[in-house]
Chain A
Amino acid sequence: MIDSTSILAYASQLSVAPGDEIAFHIGSERVRETETSIVRVRCGDPDENGPGLKLIEMPSAIDGRTPIEPQPIHNGSYGTVEDTLVLPSLRSFTFGCYVYPTLIGSTIDQTVVSRWNGRDDAGWRLDIDTEGFAVLTVGHAGHLSQIRSPVPLLNREWIFLAVVVDQTSGAGLLEGSSLARDGGRDRRFSVSAVIPTSGGASPDTPLVFAARWSGFSAPQKLTSHHFNGKIDRPRLYQGTLEHAATLALVENLTPPATDPRLIAAWDFSQNIPSDEFVDLSANNLRGKVHELPARGSTGANWTGQIGSWTEAPSQYGAIHFHEDDLEDARWQQTCSMRIPENWRPGFYALRMRGEHDGRKIESFASFFVRPKRGRRTADVLVIAPTATYLAYANTHVRLDQSHFEVMADSLLIVSQDDVFLSAHREFGHSTYDTHLDGSGISYSSASRPILNMRPRANTFNYVNDTHLLDWLEENEFAYDVVTDEDMHRDGARLLRDYRVVITMSHPEYYSKEMFDALEAYQNHGGRHMYLGGNGFYWRIAFHPTKPGIIELRRGVTGLRSWEAEAGEGNLACTGEPSGLWRSNGRAPQRLVGVGFSAQVFDFSTFYRRLPDGLESDTAFVFEGVGADEPIGNFGLRLGGAAGLEIDRADHTLGSAPNIRILATADRTGAGGIPTPEELPVLYRGFTGEESSVARADMVLFSTAEGGAVFSVGSIAWCCALSHNQYENNVSQITRNVLRRFLSDAPL
């Protein structure tokens, strides 16, 4: 087997045009040199039962040998306040905030707040230890004094914590009071002890929320002992305050800024979409968060009367930090090149080769070449679903969740990429995964190696999509490529001049901008072929200021591996609602005629013609296909063209009044299981064995100004195209529709 993980890399941006500069960040724990080159991807699936791996060498300035080195990744979000004036001189102070721990019982101590320098081992910090007890530590080099709460804190329960550090008198105090006091939740405590009167962190040590300062500089890890949980309304006061006075200071949303003893009153509820947080005191000790913690999180004062931070930001003054958050791997750049002017738009990848332990290494890092702005090179535009690739990036769900074997009714096939990712959690997770504390992962970033978005990857999304590219090349249809993020940022004008837009096997994650662009295109005479399943399903946003990052909050319906916490269904980066597009009033049926109905992961099936597909005005779709022929009773994904995830038409969900339901695949068997939002009530007999709710519909409808949409509603479709040397009815139908859509003939 070829070694696909000993060298890994990512591109500086996913989408580039001819003439653009692109850089690559390559890392390896095992080898010190690699042979680099660029390939254009026609088929990324090495399966010998299909077209096989088809990578076209693209000679470029990057060809050759490149020295490489290990590149670390540092996970964990935190907040910092840089200050060399006020904080270092504080010898007597009171700190208070609400805390909501979410990983009591972690294997390491978790620091809630600190002004601690790991290099000097000096300063003060408030931790939650491995048994869940709150611990205040004050001291310097070997002279540490610790105060530990007499009771452990509770997971997922708010507690107000206050510390008093008085280095002038040598008095330390640690206090807590639980917000809820019923049912054994009352954890009130107050403990005092003597603390050292000398020492402290060096002046350049920042105050850090949710971690400790290591004292090192990049590329070493800047922080350690990350906290998992929420911090709400932290306050810092000069001198010693009584417990009630500190609590009052925290409860007060607008503490008196002119109080000269108020050192800082941090307000995380302002500037939620940004990395900045403000200080309401006269000192203006503003700070910054790092590695994308979850902002817009409900605070201890959230009433449950409102559902979004945009409606009442003051109830969203909490930030949920996670030790496994990751915004950017921050690897050093290894090499760079300019995209040659004559490169056609398409899927491309940096190929890295080498050898380790007698095994050949071949690894890839993907990028996409789009046409220069306003310089269309073909009549067909393929949208590379990079939002979906990001949503799935480095997914661990098949490993970490246990239902996949029974879902597929067959043993899981894992790859060496899975084995690698299972052990190397630092590469970050997908939006399907949960954080170590069980909360959902709402961000995904392209600034890290993504193992399942490249040739030879596990067969879903990227690899499946390349089967469509292979088919377009085989049939000599010229095409341009743009990414989801291009469409998000440039909008409908990016699509408007194309005769046909094709969306691929599983365009599941859509931002409002993307949805609008596609709908505007369709209604302006554009013709859209949706050759996938479970598309246009979740509402995401690309981060407004950080390229290559998406944010998602899964709602309380949909086929969801986690749910956003109550009140946290809106995106932090834009304030928009997230969740299903169906819950946002735009079910996929409205856009493409069909919407998600079911998963079928045991056996794929075939379509049969319906009356709409036997009429003269739809005959062009089936030219060369017999009226009774099963359509797609073959294919590389579980033996059929209708499978994995499938979509159905529904007028009540927005399928157009003029829609033609040409064919249906409604015999999905016991493995055809409807998605939760298709089951308003519970009843027996809902699987595909006994019900046609779990079905794929093949549809055609006209939109406006000559525009039209053709949808197949199945992820497995594209992987049936190459069957029998591309001579089959799935290929024939796709070709018939694409030719007609490209022509001037009205629809």
Chain B
Amino acid sequence: MIGTDPKTAHYPIDAERRDLIEEFRRSPKGPYSSELQKIVHRMRWSGEGGRFALMPVVPGKTWMLMLLPARRGDPIVPQPDQIFTSLEDAEWAVFKLRWKAITEHAIPEDLDTTP
């Protein structure tokens, strides 16, 4: 049957590419360079590290991170310790989680700040 398979996302991510981390940190909402775009596609398509979403807490002002279930019908799990006051901050937080999940390397400490 027709369908889409997120497990097919396989663009390789080089954990040494500090420049790409810096680029994403500078402009989490894009537009991205073509190399970063492919990495972001992989992250958003495969959902490795978690299929995340945001739920507005105060519309247009604050958002809470939510974890979507891997299996249909299981609950959406709120992450109440992850509240953001900008969509950029939220994208950066999720990028860091996925970078670590895919490359098995945390974002280097000196880059792990919100600019």
Contacts and interface: CB of A to CB of B under 8 A. Distances in A.
A415 B4 CA distance: 24
A522 B29 CA distance: 44
A406 B44 contact: yes
B68 interface: yes
A1 to B, nearest CB: 7
Contact of A411 (B4, B6, B54): B54
B55 interface: yes
Interface stretch (A43-51, A290-298, A344-352, A706-714): A43-51
A221 interface: no
Contact of B55 (A403, A416, A562, A670): A416
A560 B2 contact: yes
Interface in B10-34: 29-31
B37 interface: yes
B47 A402 contact: yes
Contacts of A562: 1-2
Given A403-B45, A438-B1, A415 B91 contact: no
A414 interface: yes
Contacts of B2: 560, 562-563
Nearest to B51: A402
B63 interface: yes
Given A1-B56, A413-B56, A419-B66, A402 B4 contact: yes
Contact of A414 (B55, B58, B91): B55
Given A399-B68, A560-B2, A413 B55 contact: yes
Contacts of A400: 72
A412 interface: yes
A414 B59 contact: no
A342 interface: no
Contacts, number: 87
A415 B55 contact: yes
Contacts of B87: 410-411
Interface in B53-98: 53-60, 63, 66, 68-69, 72-73, 75-76, 87, 90-91, 94
A563 B4 CA distance: 13
A423 interface: yes
Given A400-B72, A411-B87, A563-B2, A406 B45 contact: yes
A623 interface: no
A419 B76 contact: yes
Contact of B59 (A47, A399, A423): A47
A422 interface: yes
B51 to A, nearest CB: 6
A261 interface: no
Contacts of B54: 411-414
Nearest to A425: B73
A415 B75 CA distance: 14
A201 B1 CA distance: 40
B40 interface: yes
A403 B76 contact: no
B105 interface: no
A560 B1 CA distance: 12
A412 B63 CA distance: 11
Nearest to B65: A411
A157 B88 CA distance: 49
B100 interface: no
B99 interface: no
Contacts of B29: 410
A409 B30 contact: yes
Given A414-B66, A560-B2, A406 B41 contact: yes
Interface of B: 1-4, 6, 29-31, 37, 40-41, 44-45, 47, 51-60, 63, 66, 68-69, 72-73, 75-76, 87, 90-91, 94
5 contacts: A402-B6, A409-B44, A411-B94, A416-B55, A419-B76
